């Protein structure tokens, strides 16, 4: 419990004696930190037994590099975020997040529990460190800062980040930025170069978690300016050090990726690209900024997708939503700039929010999505601080009393305190309820389609998940038939909304393949491939149809293309081996020994690659044994058949 004694003074460097607030009673800090950790953990404990959902497939479950475990770390460091998945998205570089996923897969393959547990633990830790960091900088009533972080911990807008394992990139990026700010404060108080170096390392790790951490270059000088008395020269020195770190990261990013930014953004991912003019793009982006603010105040309903066809393009400057958002943001910006010299706390909160949202806003550059709840994760810190501060002002709390008693806070204005408690309870209930929606992919998409029924992506995702092998396990013939009937209805609607959506045609092809209508399946797969020829999976699926039609030479050509586009995919090599095997058998039946041996040896080569990429690939080992027997090598034939037959 806090005492009425003044906070103890902390010994600091004389030139920076007023740089940072002295921390309140350590026992109180520990108690409040434990409360934050427990609340954050318990709120998301119901996600621990959830499945892999949404982008977890592309980054974890179906990513051959991630599934390579610790052996893939060197490749992960030198490749794009989604490398190892059957697509041609090479715009993002987040090796640290992916290395974590690879290690977790190594420890617990194909079991999402560990990934969810780490998300929840890192989230709870972030809340604690955020609280400590704020106390290091802000000389304010400790309970105001506590309520700000508590609001952050319970806010439902964070459910996408914590409940979706893939969004570890957001959690780790924010966590390392908080750690960097903590070490900057240590440097300003101690002047120890080691502290400054640690802040640089933390910032660099934040960038390796997610590129958007680069906004920190603009945040650091703002934080130092508002909450310290250090000179402008010292501030610029620290900022320059951080900026150099950012340039080093950008150089590495450029060397690995070949470019900065995401090339070839699909308009269904970010419909802002469908605007007919630059002005329409920015008007739509400003409208969306208004929607972001609304979700911070009233986080309902929530959705895992806001892409095409959810938010219409603003086609007129008279659009009410655009005008309201523009007026609100301009007003906030004017206030922040006007109060800047006074180091007004609300000015800081507004600038923190604006700077944090700069990249996500689509104002300064077009990113890979028009709107996503996860993008509010770090910026929401500014919002939560502002709300706690305004409520404290309204309750007439003594904001500068860093050692205030809890009883004094609770008795200050019972109406406002009661209102805050109600908001915290309602937000907690919403968070727990929303977490349940994220349990499975099918469940999430069914729920969110009620909110955004015309989302081409959600229609696609729902149909895709209904027809995946994992979703069909244990179903009766009638249930399986029902799954595909719903999937066909959903995918037809998705294509009617936007025909040039390659993944939709890919799922349509899968449905026709299930019905054994290989011509219709081939047509849909071919359309997907035409729309996105760089997608290995599409070539593999076209080849599968050709194989089913016994057109083995053409199937082999497409399987070969798929293996070239994604050299880490064992299925493409195994399928290519099967195609070569069938061609070899055809030559063998025709008594063309030379060509028979040529193609059967090619089959062996590709089956071998498949087993090297996936050491537990049962069918590849079995086919390898059968093929060796076909060329008369019964020793290797028996060997590999035995290995394959021993696998589960």
Integer Cα distance of 462 and 474 in angstroms: 19
Whether the per-residue pLDDT at 552 is higher than 90: the answer is: yes
Q: Which CATH class is domain 573-648?
A: mainly alpha
pLDDT at 101: 97
pLDDT grade, residue 471 (50/70/90)?
confident
DSSP for residue 131:
H
Integer Cα distance of 94 and 79 in angstroms: 9
Residue with tokens 């994220």: 438
Integer Cα distance of 300 and 295 in angstroms: 7
Integer Cα distance of 93 and 75 in angstroms: 12
Please give the structure tokens belonging to residue 447.
């729920």
pLDDT at 90: 62
Whether the per-residue pLDDT at 294 is higher than 70: the answer is: yes
Decide: 619 and 639 in contact? Cβ < 8 Å.
no
Residue with tokens 């919403």: 430
pLDDT at 89: 58
Contacts of 104 (CB under 8 A, 6+ apart): 114, 115, 118
Q: Is 85 helix (H, G, I), strand (E, B) or coil?
A: strand
Integer Cα distance of 218 and 206 in angstroms: 15
pLDDT grade, residue 309 (50/70/90)?
very high
User: What average pLDDT does this structure show over 338-356?
Assistant: 97
- CB atoms under 10 Å from CB of 518, counted, come to 19
Decide: 412 and 184 in contact? Cβ < 8 Å.
no
Measured N-to-C along each axis, helices 618-630 and 570-589 cross at an angle, to the nearest 10 degrees, of 20
Whether the per-residue pLDDT at 5 is higher than 50: the answer is: no
Task: Give per-residue pLDDT as tens, 594-634.
Answer: 999 999 999 999 999 999 999 999 999 999 999 999 999 99
User: What average pLDDT does this structure show over 40-52?
Assistant: 97
Integer Cα distance of 525 and 636 in angstroms: 37
DSSP for residue 267:
T
Of 408 and 151, which is predicted with more confidence?
151
What is the percent of the chain with per-residue pLDDT over 70, rounded to a whole number? 95
φ, ψ for residue 85, nearest 5 deg = -110, 155
CA–CA–CA angle 265, 268, 269 (5° rounding): 55
Please give the structure tokens belonging to residue 116.
């969810």
The structural domains of the chain, with segments of one domain joined by +, span: 21-51+112-433, 573-648
DSSP for residue 368:
S
Contacts of 160 (CB under 8 A, 6+ apart): 167, 302, 304, 372, 373, 374, 438
Least confident span in 97-101, 182-186, 266-270, 542-546: 266-270
Q: What is the DSSP string of 139-190?
A: -S-HHHHHHHHHHHHH-GGGHHHHHSGGGHHHHHHHHHHHHHHHHHHHHHHH
The CA–CA distances, whole Å, from 557 to 411, 528, 530, 539, 600 equal 77, 17, 16, 9, 16
Please give the structure tokens belonging to residue 247.
């340039």
The CA–CA distances, whole Å, from 38 to 147, 381, 424, 462 equal 15, 19, 15, 34
Q: Kindly provide the b/e burial profile for residues 345-358, where b requires at least 16 CB atoms within 10 angstroms of the residue's own CB.
A: bbbbbbbbbbbbbb
Integer Cα distance of 226 and 545 in angstroms: 64
Integer Cα distance of 445 and 441 in angstroms: 6
Q: What is the DSSP string of 439-507?
A: SSHHHHHHHHHTTSTT-HHHHHHHHHHHTSHHHHTT--HHHHHHHHHHHHHHHHHHHHH-S--HHHHHH
- CB atoms under 10 Å from CB of 231, counted, come to 11
- CB atoms under 10 Å from CB of 472, counted, come to 14
pLDDT grade, residue 276 (50/70/90)?
very high
What is the percent of the chain with per-residue pLDDT over 90, rounded to a whole number? 83
pLDDT at 18: 40
Q: Is 83 helix (H, G, I), strand (E, B) or coil?
A: strand
Task: Give per-residue pLDDT as tens, 114-165.
Answer: 999 999 999 999 999 999 999 999 999 999 999 999 999 999 999 999 999 9
Whether the per-residue pLDDT at 56 is higher than 90: the answer is: yes
User: What average pLDDT does this structure show over 344-354?
Assistant: 98
Decide: 456 and 504 in contact? Cβ < 8 Å.
yes
- Burial label for 396, CB within 10 Å (0-12, 13-18, 19+), is exposed
DSSP for residue 554:
H
Integer Cα distance of 16 and 567 in angstroms: 56
Task: Give per-residue pLDDT as tens, 350-398.
Answer: 999 999 999 999 999 999 999 999 999 999 999 999 999 999 999 888 7
Whether the per-residue pLDDT at 102 is higher than 70: the answer is: yes
Decide: 569 and 544 in contact? Cβ < 8 Å.
no
pLDDT grade, residue 10 (50/70/90)?
very low
Please give the structure tokens belonging to residue 380.
């929401």
pLDDT at 82: 87
Integer Cα distance of 395 and 398 in angstroms: 9
CA–CA–CA angle 283, 286, 291 (5° rounding): 130
Residue with tokens 């497409």: 558
């Amino acid at each position: 419990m806090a005492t009425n004694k003044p906070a103890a003074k902390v010994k600091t460097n004389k030139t920076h004696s007023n740089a940072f607030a002295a921390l309140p009673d350590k026992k109180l800090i520990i108690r409040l930190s434990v409360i934050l950790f427990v609340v954050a953990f318990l709120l998301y404990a119901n996600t621990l037994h959830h499945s892999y959902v949404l982008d977890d497939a592309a980054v974890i479950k179906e990513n051959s590099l991630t599934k390579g475990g610790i052996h893939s770390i060197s490749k992960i460091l030198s490749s794009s975020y989604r490398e190892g998945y059957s697509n041609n998205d090479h715009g993002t570089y987040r090796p640290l997040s992916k290395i974590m996923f690879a290690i977790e897969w190594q420890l617990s393959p194909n079991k999402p529990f560990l990934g969810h547990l780490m998300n929840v633990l890192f989230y709870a830790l972030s809340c604690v460190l955020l609280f400590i960091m704020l106390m290091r900088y802000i000389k304010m009533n400790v309970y105001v800062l506590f309520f700000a972080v508590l609001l952050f911990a319970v806010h439902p807008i964070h459910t996408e980040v914590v409940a979706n394992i893939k969004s570890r990139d957001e959690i780790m990026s924010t966590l390392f930025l908080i750690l960097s700010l903590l070490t900057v404060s240590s440097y300003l108080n101690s002047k120890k170069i080691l502290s400054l170096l640690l802040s640089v390392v933390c910032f660099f790790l934040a960038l390796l978690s997610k590129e958007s951490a680069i906004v920190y270059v603009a945040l650091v000088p703002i934080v130092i300016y508002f909450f310290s008395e250090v000179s402008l020269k010292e501030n610029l020195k620290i900022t320059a050090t951080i900026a150099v770190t950012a340039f080093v990261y950008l150089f590495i990013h450029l060397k690995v990726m070949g470019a900065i930014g995401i090339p070839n953004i699909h308009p269904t991912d970010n419909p802002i690209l469908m605007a007919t003019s630059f002005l329409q793009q920015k008007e739509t982006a400003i409208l969306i900024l208004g929607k972001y603010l609304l979700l911070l105040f009233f986080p309902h309903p929530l959705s895992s997708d806001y892409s095409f066809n959810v938010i219409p393009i603003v086609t007129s400057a008279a659009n009410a939503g655009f005008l309201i958002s523009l007026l609100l943001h301009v007003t906030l910006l004017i206030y922040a700039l006007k109060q800047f010299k006074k180091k007004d706390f609300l000015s800081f909160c507004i600038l923190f929010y604006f700077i944090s949202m700069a990249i996500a806003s689509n104002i300064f550059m077009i990113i890979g999505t028009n709107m996503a709840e996860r993008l509010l994760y770090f910026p929401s810190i500014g919002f939560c601080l502002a709300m706690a501060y305004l409520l404290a002002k309204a309750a007439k709390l003594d904001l500068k009393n860093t050692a205030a008693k809890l009883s004094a806070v609770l008795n200050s204005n019972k109406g406002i305190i009661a209102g805050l408690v109600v908001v915290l309870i309602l937000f907690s209930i919403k968070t727990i309820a929303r977490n349940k929606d994220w349990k499975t992919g099918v469940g999430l998409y069914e729920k969110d389609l009620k909110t955004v029924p015309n989302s081409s992506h959600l229609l696609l995702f729902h149909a895709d998940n209904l027809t995946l092998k994992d979703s069909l396990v244990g179903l009766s013939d009638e249930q399986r038939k029902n799954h595909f009937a719903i999937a066909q209805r959903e995918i037809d609607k998705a294509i009617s909304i936007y025909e040039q959506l390659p993944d939709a045609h890919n799922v349509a092809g899968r449905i026709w393949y299930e019905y054994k209508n290989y011509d219709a399946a081939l047509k849909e797969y071919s359309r997907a491939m035409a729309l996105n020829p760089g997608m290995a999976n599409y070539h593999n699926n076209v080849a599968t149809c050709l194989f089913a039609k016994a057109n083995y030479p053409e199937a082999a050509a497409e399987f070969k293309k798929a293996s070239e586009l994604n050299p880490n995919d064992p299925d493409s090599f195994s399928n290519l081996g099967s195609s070569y095997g069938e061609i070899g058998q055809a030559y063998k039946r025709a008594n063309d020994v030379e060509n028979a041996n040529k193609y059967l040896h090619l089959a062996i080569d590709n089956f071998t690659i498949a087993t090297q990429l996936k050491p537990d690939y049962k069918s590849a080992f079995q086919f390898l044994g059968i093929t060796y027997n076909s060329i008369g090598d019964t020793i290797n034939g028996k060997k590999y058949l035995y290995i394959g037959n021993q696998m589960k």
